[in-house]
């Protein structure tokens, strides 16, 4: 039997924390932001944080409804601090109206957790998601479909806190509940399965992630049977997940299938081809290490045909959005920079520059995309010296080092004049990895009215975690290395 003491205590704490606040608004039963979990804030709101004046003439229900409308607006505006305060007032109000052991209370906690998750307060979010789950388990049962939303939120917060192992358990439970209530082939489980795939990738289980992606695909095929065009969004999403999992051969096959559907249903020059063609071209920047190189002929050079076709379709389609046209020209120019075909790159960069110089709105986009160097190719750098700490280890228990790299990007998009500094300096292996990664990067060069330009005095900083024992070990090795060098000199 579930003990609600913790939940009741949590409600009381919230009530006391916001006792001086205006009372919050009503909760929608279906489809509201409150149906998605959010954690309780670590600090109570101050006495002057009320976002709306209190109208004592209104009933409690009316004030709750008004507060909920405010909450929804704040979430939509991404005003998370204010939304957190509003969500606390909603919890207080719901407790007064419905009591702490009610579905309404579960939804209010769910919404509070959602805001806290969005603002990175993962510990508080987890606490509130778990409280929402406990209430539903007690009021309803352990397989009730109302558990799915808070379980999804709980799993997301666990992922955010660095615990993919716990998130995997949570998402598996949510999936099981959808099977019990909607059947094993329900389409509602797709979002949860995608989160499970993300958990698997974070745990290094690429095979498990791949199996989950295939399962998602089969569910979508079953659901959209006979309607190929309706299947397109799920195919494009599948390809993006395959890219994240580094199954680039699978990604290419998925984009090709999407392209064939569009060609057969809408024609070979339809603008909906632009996105999958561009993405297919970009996939050839990457080598699929799950396949032998003999199965991947051409690689980077194979992407040119897709970039060129996407740019042609965009250029020849009347009324195409200027952003789409600019992006396809930049994608083709970036390919030529990567292939070191400077004159061809300059041609399409210039076309994009002219397109983005037409008015103030476009000039803002031009500043972001062309007036500064943009990295086109990079790989993630290691976060830890030595072995990664076990799941659940707080980074507060570790020390932080920093590697600073000063460099230049040439007009050809290549990195030059690298200078590296590290604190502490003993971690030379980490310095070499960062140095090597910066050197191999390819950039879209900075551009002006005069053309492509070199960019000097650029700075990149990489922070990493280490244990004191890692530093002590290297420090002990330094005198030994110096002594060995002295002995060798003496013998010579």
The string of pLDDT tens digits covering residues 209-231 is 889 988 998 999 899 988 999 99
Among 418, 406, 415, 404, which residue's Cα sits nearest to residue 442? Answer: 415
- Given a cut of 60, whether residue 10 has pLDDT beyond it is no
Domains and CATH numbers, the chain: 1-162 (1.25.40), 376-387+395-491 (3.30.2420.10)
| Average pLDDT for the chain | 83
Find, among 103, 123, 131, 112, the residue nearest to 30 by Cα. Answer: 103
Angle at CA 490, nearest 5°, toward 485 and 492? 95
User: Greater confidence, 160 or 45?
Assistant: 160
Angle at 80 between CA 77 and CA 81, to 5 degrees: 130
Q: Which of 51-55, 88-92, 413-417, 421-425 has the lowest mean pLDDT?
A: 51-55
Which residues lie closer than 8 Å to 362 by C-beta, 6 or more apart?
Answer: 322, 355, 356
Distance (Å, whole) CA 211 – CA 214: 5
The mean pLDDT of 239-254, rounded to a whole number, is 90
Identify the CA nearest to 210 among candidates 158, 169, 249, 164: 249
What pLDDT, on a 0 to 100 scale, did the predictor assign at position 31?
33
User: What is 291-359 written as a DSSP string?
Assistant: S-GGGS-SGGGGGHHHHHHHHHHHHHSTT--HHHHHHHHHHHHHHHHHTT-HHHHHHHHHHHHHHTTSS
Nearest residue to 200 (alpha-carbon basis) of 221, 175, 169, 228: 169
Average pLDDT of the segment spanning 131-155: 94
Region 40-54: mean pLDDT is 38
Residue % of the chain over a pLDDT of 90: 62
In angstroms, the CA 322 to CA 253 distance is 29
Q: Dig out the tokens for 371 from the structure.
A: 């007036």
pLDDT at residue 334 tops 50: yes
- Dihedral angle of Cα 309, 339, 249, 297, to the nearest 10 degrees: 100
Q: Which two tokens stand for residue 462?
A: 């990489």
Higher pLDDT, 39 or 143: 143
Q: Which three-class secondary structure state does DSSP give residue 393?
A: coil
Residues 38/125, Cβ–Cβ less than 8 Å: yes
What are the backbone angles phi and psi of residue 456, rounded to the nearest 5°? -105, 165
Is the pLDDT at 15 greater than 50? The verdict is no
Does residue 51 register a pLDDT over 50? no
204-208, 398-402, 477-481, 485-489, range with greatest mean pLDDT: 398-402
Question: Tokens 């039963």 — which residue?
Answer: 29
Helix (H) or strand (E) holding 102: none
**Of 196, 201, 202, residue with least CA distance to 215:** 196
In DSSP terms, 406 is beta-bridged to: 419, 459
The answer on pLDDT for 375 being more than 60 is: yes
Cβ-contact 334, 444 below 8 angstroms: yes
Whether the per-residue pLDDT at 20 is higher than 70: the answer is no
The pLDDT of residue 455 is above 60: yes
pLDDT digits (tens, 9 = 90+) for 181-200: 999 999 989 999 999 998 99
Q: Mean per-residue pLDDT for 9-33? A: 35
Whether the per-residue pLDDT at 206 is higher than 90: the answer is no
């Amino acid at each position: 039997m579930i003990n609600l003491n913790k939940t009741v205590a949590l409600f009381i704490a919230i009530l006391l924390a916001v006792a001086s606040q205006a009372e919050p608004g009503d909760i929608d039963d279906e489809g509201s932001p409150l149906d998605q979990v959010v954690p309780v804030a670590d600090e109570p709101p101050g006495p002057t944080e009320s976002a709306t004046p209190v109208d004592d003439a209104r009933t409690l229900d009316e004030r709750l409804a008004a507060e909920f409308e405010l909450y929804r607006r704040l979430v939509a505006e991404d005003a998370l601090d204010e939304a957190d305060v509003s969500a606390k007032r909603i919890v207080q109000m719901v407790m007064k109206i419905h009591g702490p052991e009610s579905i309404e209370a579960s939804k209010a906690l769910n919404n509070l957790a959602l805001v806290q998750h969005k603002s990175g307060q993962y510990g508080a979010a987890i606490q509130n998601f778990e409280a929402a789950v406990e209430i539903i388990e007690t009021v309803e049962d352990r397989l009730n479909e109302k558990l799915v939303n808070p379980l999804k939120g709980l799993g997301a917060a666990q992922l955010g806190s660095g615990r993919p192992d716990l998130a995997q358990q949570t998402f598996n439970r949510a999936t099981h509940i959808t099977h019990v209530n909607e059947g094993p082939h329900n389409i509602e489980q797709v979002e949860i399965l995608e989160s499970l795939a993300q958990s698997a990738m974070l745990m290094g289980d690429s095979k498990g992630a791949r199996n989950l992606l295939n399962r998602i695909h089969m569910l979508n095929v079953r659901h959209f049977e006979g309607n190929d065009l309706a299947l397109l969004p799920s195919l494009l999403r599948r390809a993006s997940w395959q890219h994240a999992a580094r199954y680039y051969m699978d990604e290419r096959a998925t984009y090709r299938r999407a392209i064939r559907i569009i060609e057969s249903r809408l024609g070979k020059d339809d603008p909906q081809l632009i996105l999958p063609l561009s993405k297919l071209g970009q996939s050839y920047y990457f080598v699929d290490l799950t396949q032998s190189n003999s199965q991947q002929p051409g690689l980077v050079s194979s992407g040119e045909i897709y970039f060129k076709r996407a740019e042609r379709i965009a250029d020849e389609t009347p009324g195409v959005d200027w952003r789409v046209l600019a992006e396809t020209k930049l994608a083709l120019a970036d390919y030529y920079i990567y292939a070191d075909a400077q004159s061809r790159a300059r041609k399409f960069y210039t076309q994009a520059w002219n397109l983005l110089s037409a008015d103030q709105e476009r000039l803002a986009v031009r500043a972001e995309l062309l007036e500064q160097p943009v990295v086109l190719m990079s790989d993630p750098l290691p976060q830890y010296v030595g072995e990664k700490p076990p799941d659940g280890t707080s980074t507060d228990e570790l020390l932080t080092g920093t590697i600073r790299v000063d460099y230049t990007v040439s007009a050809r998009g290549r990195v030059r004049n690298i200078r590296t500094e590290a604190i502490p300096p003993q971690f030379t292996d980490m310095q070499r990895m960062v140095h090597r990664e910066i050197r191999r990067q390819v950039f879209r060069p900075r551009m002006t009215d005069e053309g492509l330009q070199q960019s000097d005095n650029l700075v990149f900083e990489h922070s990493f975690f280490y244990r004191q024992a890692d530093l002590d070990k290297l420090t002990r090795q330094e005198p030994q290395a110096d002594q060995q060098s002295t002995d060798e000199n003496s013998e010579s």
